[in-house]
Structure 1
Amino acid sequence: MPEADRLTFAKMTGDTSKEARETLLAAHPHVIALTPELLHYQLRTTWRLEGWQAFFHDLRYVLIDECHTYRGVFGANMALLLKRLKLVVDRYGGNAEALQFIFLSATCGNPTQLAQMLSGRKQRDSPKRLVWLKQSGAATAAKRLLVTQPSHHTSADVARIMLYLMQQGLRGITFCNSRHAVKSAVELVTKEANLQQRADLANRVAVFYGSLDDQRRSQIMRQLEAGEIDWIVGTEALEAGIDLPVVDCAILRGFPGSLTDFWQRVGRAGRKRQGLAIYVPVAQNLLDGYFTNRDRLFGTIESIHFNPNYPILLAKHLLCAASEGSLSLTEIQQAFGKVSLPVAKVLIERGHLHNSRKGLYSKGFPQGDINFRGGVGMGTTKLVEQATGKVLESTSDEIAYREVFPGAIYRRQDDDGQLATYRSLSLDTTQRVATLQRTAVDDLLTSAVLRLDAQCDQPLTPPKQVAVQPLTIWEIAGSLSTTQVELSTFSPESKECQWLTLELGFGSFRQVVEGYQRFMRLYQRTCLNRKCSHYRTPLPNTTTCLLCGKPTREAELLTLLDEERFPEPYVTQHHTPILTLSLSDGLIQSLQQIAGTAKAILGMQETILKDYQVLWNYPAEYIALHSLGHQIMTALPMVVRTDSHDLEFVVQPDGSGSCGLFFDTADGGNGATEAVFNHFTQLCQTAANLAHQCDCETGCPRCLIQHGCPDRNQGLLKQMGLILLEAIAPSSHSEVSPLP
């Protein structure tokens, strides 16, 4: 383009200084690229920055990439931010009604609905304003997807696959679901490369995760593009928004929790030429094995849901909008809808919104009270090297408490690409600084001993009792197609009244790091036959197991050395609504009798069915409550506009039994827990219908298993949950489909 007509482009991040931003704005850029958080904070200071005022006056297009990531609280905050953006555009002479919103995503189950929710525009009001471009005209290279058998030694298998592909001259990305898995895979690549006498390959692998600074992340990208490294091992930070044509392969270590995220990761491979994606399921993860099925992998992509009208979130953004410029109640209603008026009036009554001649305004910096992407709002801990005083990384307090507690062994990749081992000397929680010392010892591993608990501190509602129908055994007995036992409806002998009590309150969910375990690590040949008594026993210099005759293989072997408890545990917590579910004594007795009867039926078989072993390992009330909680979470998006990621569920001891607790995953709440309380009976009925329609026998990710379960999906049985669901709200066995 002629120089005089060329578009000018400005990129801003949180690391862009105030002076640099002003310089960029002075050039009157046609396009500004920034994160939602930067815009969120920038709106507060627009009134005194002429450059931003001019930009918003001329603003015409709002382009939102990777819009499938805006789910749950993140999506609600984004939708509310766009409402504030419209107010600012109008305030400085622009035309918010004429703004054109452009949303992009390769993986979204409800794109038109998501566009409406984010933009705040409804298609029924202006049907011609929304256009869905369903097909892409861009040339795309073919991709091949390989799915391996579930692996019991995932990191070692992934390391070998990476080395093999690198030896073929290919370049790629390996996705892991945790920082620990990232570091484990890279360490095993190094060890395996040394065994194969190809140490040069290990030096061409880089680690990538969120706590690396922007400079290091940019350096890794440049090195990959320049051919200085061949492979990146990272977390979801690499999932979207990165276009690397040089990448041939993508390895997925484990299922990421949703098909949306799965296909985003697969999409990193083969941008310009034929790509290869390899999915390596983790054998211990039920979700991973479930999605080895072709039809499930190529099934319907999940829909995106969020609730921008939750009063707490809405109140926070109303205060932000009022700090960005005075507003009338009429303007508030026009921008945020009728639901905002009662919230605004409460803020006025409580002295958070103030009246002036120009309208309502708020004081202070309310933008700082919003954790934009949800989760737990916490500070940042710096990891400082003792010898040099250099800040190696910065990470959240929650991760710091788990990984750099005093005595912890911490591994990271230095800027030169070499893996380095550090020992944490101290963790100052007041100054938020962890002091690390470089060490030559690399055969030790530490693992935090932690527990999760929730505690309700302030009741919000009186306890509500839900009557329970007499329980029956038919849900379990009827599903045992392998048995010849016919059992009529079983009525427990207990004559105690049976009910389930719901109590909604406000409290805290805590991660408590009580101490740590120290392990010795060896990378040696061993027998990996799980049925052999030499399984994972060191067998150095042995190519064949003497007991079972299977070939031996190098693997990481861990030996527990000791365990240490801290005088004072390290605690992170967030405050949130909590819904407590407790069972009456009579109901617990009935569940115990049902479980006992089911065990008697199963015991008649020559072989106890493996999937029912949970009945022998956990109390009946624990299984029933845990299963019911997961089943309700599965049904949640089909009843209310809430994402299942907004909600968590745990089972805790409660006197002589157990109680279940739902709580929001966002600090301050997001409305999911209250939705369960308000729609409990309907959710139970929908969950029962979903479980009946699912063709699995004892529970699967479609009807029961939840990604990220704090209890690791242990103690679950579809039928025990169904017994409670049916007793609370008998299902109609009708078809259940997502909300339109």
Structure 2
Amino acid sequence: MSNESTRSSNTVLDAESLAESFPEYEQQLQETAVQAASDADTVPPGEVLPDVLAEQLEYDLYTHQAEALRTLKDGSNVSVATSTSSGKTWVYALYFALRKLENPDARGLFLYPTKALSAGQQEALNGLFDQLGVDARAETYDGDTDQDRKQIIRERVDVPISNFAGINQYLDAHQKWRAVFANCELVVIDEAHTYSGVHGMHVSWVIRRLRRLLDHYGADPQLVCTTATIGNPAEHARLLTGAAFDVIADDGSPHGRREIAFWQPPLQDDGDVVDTVGDSPLPAMRKSTASEAASVLAHLTNHDMQTLMFTDSRQGTEISVKRAIENASAHPASRTDTEYAPYHAGLSQGKREATENALRAGEVDGVVSTSALELGIDIGTMDATVISGYPGTRQSFWQRIGRAGRGTSNSLAVYVPETDGVDQYILDNPAYLLGDNIEDAVVTLSNNPVFAQHVLCAASERPLTRADADWFGPEDRLERAVEMWADAGQMGGSLDRGAQYSGTARPQSEISIYTTSGEQYEVRQTDGEIDMEPLDKERVYRQYHPGAIVVYDGQQYEVQAVVEDTYRPYVEVESTNTRNYTQAIHTKTIDNLSVDRTRSLGNGYQLAAGVGRVVTDYSAYNVVDMFEGTVEEPMVPIDLPPISIRTQLMWISFPDRIIDRVRAAVPTNDYLTPDADSDFVALGECEYTLAGGLHGGEHGMIKMSPLELRLDNDDLGGLSQLAHPEVESPVWFIHDAVEGGVGFAHSIYDNFEAVAERTRERIAQCDCGRTDGCPACLMSSQCGNQNEPLHRTAATELLDAALAQLRDED
């Protein structure tokens, strides 16, 4: 199925053949870019390795591998920031083999982001150790490891392989790990670019807790981070670990010819509906990106191209597999033996491993995955990838398309954009995606709730003293955390005498490294058994509320109940069979503002950054036809309490007289009028139009911030109001979407002018021709007000006014 002579888009995706071979082809193929093949740049292994190791290698080393080994031999920590499938594993495997030759007692600790990746790396590492003739073994140690095997691994295995969720738990019993910790000479943090946002914050503190205990046992191991190509590998590694790194980024690995096709979903036929604003259809909108991507997947697999499609939700993988099966059967080149499978972290380990094995063996034609297969799990050599919607960063985009055509094999990638602003900007400006400028990975240590959780864990592992400011400083911040926990009855003593944990339960068990809250919900099936990982609270309220229709492992379920008045909260589901799915609607308030920084722009305009309380109430949901996109049942009530977080935010406030500027700029026949049943019915036309401008400016800046600030706008939320009770003037807020914040909203404050200019350009130049905009400029699928109201001209005028004040200030 997969082969070295992967078909070119000239034979599979050219316009002439598509007109005949692709069902309902409507000029979706917009452009094709070609990345030429590149030869390897190599170094004889004997230049950096002793003969006893070099003579065992069948091939020369890539130049980046050799340079990394030289740097490690000089005693430095190394961050290897090269492309997918560039042999980064060989760097730390060879270096550990070298350490093992010099010190037979040397131990290592290799840490990976997922269990699936750990399992694959165990086999690869042991194969390499065998090839080198080195007496060393690696073995996975995680929650799936048999209890009677764990002690053997800790005491005898040279390289325990684990993940940070596990390490967080194991540090409480660090005495059991004495043999590993006291002799540890190398710690590896693989796929380090994945540790960002909330996850990155937790991992950063877990690493500091780990390094603190290694220091206690007298070890000072070197550190190796491996990462995809990112913009700030040295800074990211330092923030992640607290140590300095040398960066190896000059990639010597080869790659085959790669074609990247840009595929725009066609406009809907007259009378069809794919998006709505409230109950009103949007005419002439484009067909669903996910549906179109599934059609491309079916087209490629029916032309014997083993294809991996990426989508950004677990439910999306399941729906896309169903669509691909239907599309494949209706395709002119239909085959009777085409096989598809979903892949995401919610599936059991056994199901994921079965899909991985089927990919390697060529027994499955197409797989639809979340980011779970973005990492270096061995799935063989794919022919093609399909990217359904921009994944949020250029680094992630290149990581995903790099899963096909590994080594010198040729490959094809098809990018199917959403109708959102960033996707349409990229379609209009492909050079943005194809250029060399890659986003920075973002880690912040400023989130106090997360910091405090890990300080409590550290105190349970060893008493905290002032010397621990080296790991958890500055000292005054550490002291405040200790005092807080002492007041809560969870810690005794002081930094002068040793602050110790005094609670009853293990604090490590309260940490979920993917959320700022440890609360997790089990999923139970009332009419059978379901093998599904727990869900966090926000996802339960958004996707698994009572009445929600979800898809898991190819089966549809309807949520019967959410049970929270118990020690272990859970969700009850029941199997069903329907063509519908559900989308939650929410309302939001922001209050209890505390200003950290402010910038007066003059004439009543003000920028501010601070913290505040954000309360989100998932109050209703729509039942949507998954194939047509039509709303079948609107605004079905959800009986769940609101979710409250205190987080970082920024806002811009306008003088009350801004309404006069909007009134002058907007033609009278373009004023918005609220519907009789609208929440805004009390507003006059001019006030309602101003509200649409504020709402549009908020949406636009959230949409466009990833282009300027290299972040994922899923990590942000917003709110606009004509007169916020604390600000007392027209305002829009942008906030981080997690408890405590991750620094993104404050970055927008710091770079407001650049983001505002990008936003203004996109809104003004959008060719939708609609007063209230479209998904490519103003509309958002996450809007709790169902995109009501929005006004393009008013939003542009507000941005122009703010930018003029900024320029006058300068």
Residue of structure 2 in register with 1:43 after alignment: 171
Residue of structure 2 in register with 1:486 after alignment: none
Aligned with 2:458: secondary structure?
A: helix
Going from structure 1 to structure 2, the CA distance change for 1:343 and 1:147 (only over 3 Å counts) comes to: same
Deviation of 1:597 (Å):
2.1
Deviation of 1:207 (Å):
0.8
Residue of structure 1 in register with 2:620 after alignment: 514
Q: Structure 2: how far apart are the matches of 1:646 and 1:341?
A: 27
Partner deviation per Cα, 1:385-417 (whole Å, 9 max, x = no partner): 50x34445644444444444444444343xxxx
Indicate yes or no: 2:646 matched with 1:576: yes
Asked if the contact 2:315–2:552 (Cα under 8 Å) also holds between the matched residues in 1, the reply is: no
Identity between Structure 1 and Structure 2 (%) = 20
Deviation of 1:502 (Å):
5.9
Residue of structure 2 in register with 1:209 after alignment: 344
Deviation of 1:89 (Å):
0.4
Residue of structure 1 in register with 2:513 after alignment: 372
Residue of structure 2 in register with 1:177 after alignment: 312
Going from structure 1 to structure 2, the CA distance change for 1:93 and 1:688 (only over 3 Å counts) comes to: same
Aligned with 2:227: secondary structure?
A: coil
Indicate yes or no: 2:149 matched with 1:11: no
Instruction: Give the TM-score normalised by structure 1.
Output: 0.73
Residue of structure 1 in register with 2:502 after alignment: 363
Indicate yes or no: 2:698 matched with 1:565: no
Partner deviation per Cα, 1:505-555 (whole Å, 9 max, x = no partner): 542432514244364x7xxxxxxxxxxxxxxxxxxxxxxxxxxxxxxxxxx
Going from structure 1 to structure 2, the CA distance change for 1:226 and 1:715 (only over 3 Å counts) comes to: farther
- How do 1:651-670 and structure 2 match up within 5 A? 651-652=720-721, 654=723, 659-670=731-742
Q: Structure 2: how far apart are the matches of 1:193 and 1:449?
A: 31
Q: Structure 1: how far apart are the matches of 2:523 and 2:541?
A: 12
Indicate yes or no: 2:608 matched with 1:469: no
Residue of structure 1 in register with 2:151 after alignment: 22
Aligned with 2:368: secondary structure?
A: strand
Correspondent of 1:222 among 347, 357, 371: 357
Going from structure 1 to structure 2, the CA distance change for 1:330 and 1:630 (only over 3 Å counts) comes to: farther
Deviation of 1:204 (Å):
0.8
Aligned with 2:628: secondary structure?
A: strand
Going from structure 1 to structure 2, the CA distance change for 1:207 and 1:638 (only over 3 Å counts) comes to: closer
Aligned with 2:499: secondary structure?
A: strand
Asked if the contact 1:422–1:438 (Cα under 8 Å) also holds between the matched residues in 2, the reply is: yes
Going from structure 1 to structure 2, the CA distance change for 1:314 and 1:684 (only over 3 Å counts) comes to: same
Correspondent of 1:160 among 295, 299, 304: 295
Aligned with 2:248: secondary structure?
A: coil
Q: Structure 1: how far apart are the matches of 2:378 and 2:203?
A: 24
- How do 1:54-69 and structure 2 match up within 5 A? 54-69=179-194
The AA in structure 1 aligned to 2:458 is: A
Asked if the contact 1:384–1:391 (Cα under 8 Å) also holds between the matched residues in 2, the reply is: no
Deviation of 1:277 (Å):
3.6
Deviation of 1:647 (Å):
4.4
Deviation of 1:163 (Å):
2.3
Residue of structure 1 in register with 2:663 after alignment: 596
Asked if the contact 1:155–1:185 (Cα under 8 Å) also holds between the matched residues in 2, the reply is: yes
Instruction: Give the TM-score normalised by structure 2.
Output: 0.67
Deviation of 1:577 (Å):
2.9
Deviation of 1:562 (Å):
3.6
Residue of structure 1 in register with 2:249 after alignment: 134
Deviation of 1:425 (Å):
4.2
Residue of structure 2 in register with 1:384 after alignment: 525
Q: Structure 1: how far apart are the matches of 2:329 and 2:482?
A: 68
- How do 1:545-560 and structure 2 match up within 5 A? 556-557=627-628, 560=631
Indicate yes or no: 2:568 matched with 1:411: no
Indicate yes or no: 2:228 matched with 1:106: yes
Indicate yes or no: 2:195 matched with 1:89: no
The AA in structure 2 aligned to 1:86 is: R
Q: Structure 1: how far apart are the matches of 2:620 and 2:762?
A: 42
Q: Structure 2: how far apart are the matches of 1:200 and 1:385?
A: 37
Deviation of 1:500 (Å):
5.0
- How do 1:153-302 and structure 2 match up within 5 A? 153=287, 154-196=289-331, 204-282=339-417, 284-292=419-427, 293-299=429-435, 300-302=437-439
Partner deviation per Cα, 1:698-727 (whole Å, 9 max, x = no partner): 589xx9989986479965677434345346
Deviation of 1:116 (Å):
2.4
Q: Structure 2: how far apart are the matches of 1:156 and 1:315?
A: 44
Going from structure 1 to structure 2, the CA distance change for 1:362 and 1:710 (only over 3 Å counts) comes to: farther
Asked if the contact 2:256–2:408 (Cα under 8 Å) also holds between the matched residues in 1, the reply is: yes
Asked if the contact 1:281–1:289 (Cα under 8 Å) also holds between the matched residues in 2, the reply is: no
Aligned with 1:84: secondary structure?
A: helix
Deviation of 1:318 (Å):
2.2
Asked if the contact 1:208–1:217 (Cα under 8 Å) also holds between the matched residues in 2, the reply is: yes
Asked if the contact 1:514–1:570 (Cα under 8 Å) also holds between the matched residues in 2, the reply is: no
Q: Structure 1: how far apart are the matches of 2:631 and 2:738?
A: 36
Q: How many residues align?
A: 625
Deviation of 1:84 (Å):
1.5
Going from structure 1 to structure 2, the CA distance change for 1:206 and 1:332 (only over 3 Å counts) comes to: same
Going from structure 1 to structure 2, the CA distance change for 1:634 and 1:89 (only over 3 Å counts) comes to: farther
Residue of structure 1 in register with 2:440 after alignment: 303
Deviation of 1:171 (Å):
0.8
Aligned with 2:719: secondary structure?
A: strand
Aligned with 2:580: secondary structure?
A: strand
Deviation of 1:301 (Å):
0.8
Aligned with 2:463: secondary structure?
A: coil
Asked if the contact 1:623–1:721 (Cα under 8 Å) also holds between the matched residues in 2, the reply is: yes
Q: Structure 1: how far apart are the matches of 2:662 and 2:169?
A: 55
Deviation of 1:687 (Å):
5.0
Correspondent of 1:78 among 188, 193, 203: 203
RMSD: 4.2
Deviation of 1:250 (Å):
0.6
Deviation of 1:132 (Å):
2.1
Q: Structure 2: how far apart are the matches of 1:633 and 1:557?
A: 25
Aligned with 1:557: secondary structure?
A: coil
- How do 1:562-641 and structure 2 match up within 5 A? 562-563=633-634, 565-566=636-637, 569-571=639-641, 573-577=643-647, 579=649, 581=651, 583=653, 587-588=655-656, 590-600=657-667, 619-624=689-694, 627=697, 631=701
Q: Structure 1: how far apart are the matches of 2:757 and 2:226?
A: 34
Asked if the contact 1:684–1:729 (Cα under 8 Å) also holds between the matched residues in 2, the reply is: no
Partner deviation per Cα, 1:337-365 (whole Å, 9 max, x = no partner): 45645535644763654227972222333
Residue of structure 1 in register with 2:123 after alignment: none
Going from structure 1 to structure 2, the CA distance change for 1:121 and 1:499 (only over 3 Å counts) comes to: same
Deviation of 1:259 (Å):
0.8
Deviation of 1:91 (Å):
1.3
Indicate yes or no: 2:473 matched with 1:328: no
Going from structure 1 to structure 2, the CA distance change for 1:311 and 1:185 (only over 3 Å counts) comes to: closer
The AA in structure 2 aligned to 1:140 is: H
Q: Structure 2: how far apart are the matches of 1:602 and 1:30?
A: 75
Q: Structure 1: how far apart are the matches of 2:447 and 2:703?
A: 18
The AA in structure 2 aligned to 1:6 is: D
Going from structure 1 to structure 2, the CA distance change for 1:367 and 1:137 (only over 3 Å counts) comes to: same
Going from structure 1 to structure 2, the CA distance change for 1:684 and 1:222 (only over 3 Å counts) comes to: closer
The AA in structure 1 aligned to 2:664 is: T
Indicate yes or no: 2:789 matched with 1:650: no
The AA in structure 2 aligned to 1:133 is: I
Q: Structure 1: how far apart are the matches of 2:741 and 2:135?
A: 46
Deviation of 1:190 (Å):
1.9
- How do 1:419-430 and structure 2 match up within 5 A? 419-430=554-565
The AA in structure 2 aligned to 1:296 is: Y
Aligned with 1:121: secondary structure?
A: coil
Deviation of 1:58 (Å):
1.1
Residue of structure 2 in register with 1:725 after alignment: 802
